[in-house]
Amino acid sequence: MNLQEIFSQRLKNARIRRGYSNRSLAEAMENIISAETLRNYENGKSFPNSDIMERLLAVLNVKIDDLFRPFTIDWSKVNFSFRKRKSVTKVQEEIIMQQIKDDAEHYIELEETLNIAPTIKLLIDYCHRNVVLNEADARITAQSMRKYLNLSEEPIVSIQDVVERCGIKLLPVTIEAKMDGVNFECNGHVFICYNSGGENIERRRFTIAHELGHLLLNIPSQHIEKEEKLCDAFASELILPSVKLKQMLGENRHNISLRELKQIQSLFGMSVDAIMYSAKEHNIITENRLRTYFVIKRTREKLAAEIDKSVFQEDDKNRYESLVYRALSSEMISVSKAAYFLNTTVENVSSNLKLV
């Protein structure tokens, strides 16, 4: 692609990420240019003068370098596995996907600067040794992964840390739309994206573990219709091993106190609803008892609020941010480049850089 083509596509991408149509972008620029002129920019038919360029950068909140950054990924060849709610609109989906693409490009550029090579293949090969046909197989794969990472059966303090130790990159997406998760592979790098806004910690942890299941479970094509359920089983076992669940609740129960469930939630970082589902799957409670639990929850608003309250304290690590400061402190990138990677100001990066 030549510079004109790069600019045209980058301009369109920046507009989409900010949620503008060409008409609304023209209005945000106080109609100093028309929507038709913007379309011409995006189609490579014309190019903005310096004054218009300055206004574009300000309204879209991008730097000039952003609009001329070469493309290193052919996104048309990338297969995205996107789990979203029915309420997500087409515009919201476009915004989400553009944020993901931009952030993934930055992450890969940063790792290439630091000469960090992808390492996910070893784990995929390890987990793909066994075919997954049912929930029991999915749980065995989760147990194998815990063994591979020397996690034993103890609580996972940071699911982000575990996933990134596997060589998988995490991309948080902050958006009000009800997006669960996205996973994809590009240029040898594997990503899991999750909604970091509006969801409690327990649901976020389960989403990340579920997306990990999509990447690691070796599910034959004839069983693919069960994939979501199998990934749920994998996620549940990864976060809360069945051995621990049975130790804490016992082998067979009818009534379970909320205090017991909240204790498990605080230790393992899984929601009470998910714990109850898991208890049913392991025959600790019956199907009928699980239905009764949800009936009680629906009819008792105050109790439901207590059940849904987040109590887990997760160690919120950010590998990407750490890599940026690693590159900066090693003088491999400038302060302005670090600010570009972190989408923040030079002043903010400078104040956070405390060399010792």
Strand order in the sheet with 168-173: 81-84, 179-186, 189-195, 168-173
Closest among 109, 124, 107, 103 to 166, alpha carbons compared: 124
List phi, psi (to 5°) of 51: -65, -45
* Cα distance between residue 293 and residue 156, in whole Å: 27
pLDDT of residue 318: 78
- The span from the CA of 336 to the CA of 8, in Å, is 24
pLDDT at 3 over 80: yes
Rounded Cα distance between 39 and 108, Å, is 30
- Per residue in 311-331, pLDDT (tens digit) is 998 766 678 889 999 999 999
DSSP line for 102-115: HHHHHHHHHHHHTT
Which residue, chain included where needed, has tokens 């900010």?
A: 18
More confident residue, 135 or 85: 135
pLDDT tens, position by position, 33-62: 999 999 999 999 999 999 999 999 999 989
Which of 58, 40, 50, 35 has its CA nearest to residue 4? 40
Contact between 217 and 230 under an 8 Å Cβ cutoff? The reply is yes
Whether the pLDDT of residue 117 is over 90: the answer is no
Number of helical H runs and strand E runs in the chain: 18, 4
Which string of DSSP letters, residue by residue, matches 209-233? HHHHHHHH----GGGGGGHHHHHHH
- Under 8 Å between Cβ of 258 and 165: no
Angle at 112 between CA 213 and CA 11, to 5 degrees: 85
pTM, whole model, 2 decimals? 0.87
State mean pLDDT over 321-349.
89
In the chain, the amino acid numbered 200 is N
For every residue of 274-311, DSSP letters joined together read HHHHHHHHTTSS-HHHHHHHHHHHHH-HHHHHHHH---
127: phi then psi, degrees, rounded to nearest 5: -75, -25
Query: What is the average pLDDT score of the chain?
Result: 90
- Provide mean pLDDT across the span 323-341: 91
pLDDT in tens, 271-303: 999 999 999 999 999 999 999 999 999 999 999
